[in-house]
Amino acid sequence: MSSIHYKIVQHDGGWAYKLGDVFSEPFPTHDAALRAAKRVVHELQIPGETVTIEYQDADGAWRTELARGLDHPEADVSG
């Protein structure tokens, strides 16, 4: 199972949660950004439906996979 780590950082005149190089929208306070990130982490754990997905990989090839509704990454928040 994969794991992802959100980090709370100052961004765009406020605070945001960040995953890799991607920022959320800015929030006025650290606590607001932390609450939003914790909500995202919680929502990642909600079971979904098993569906077939199609996507284009980094090399431009199209892939088809089965996305299981219970296959979620472990996630946490720091900062």
56 or 72: whose pLDDT is higher? 56
Query: How would residue 33 be classed by pLDDT, with cut points 50, 70 and 90?
Result: very high
Question: So what's the pLDDT on residue 1?
Answer: 59
| Residue 67 predicted with pLDDT over 90 | no
CA angle 67, 69, 73 (to 5 degrees): 80
What is the Cα–Cα distance from 72 to 68, expressed in whole angstroms? 9
Residue with tokens 């995953």: 19
Tell me: pLDDT of 12 over 80: yes
Question: Where along the chain do its domains lie?
Answer: 3-78
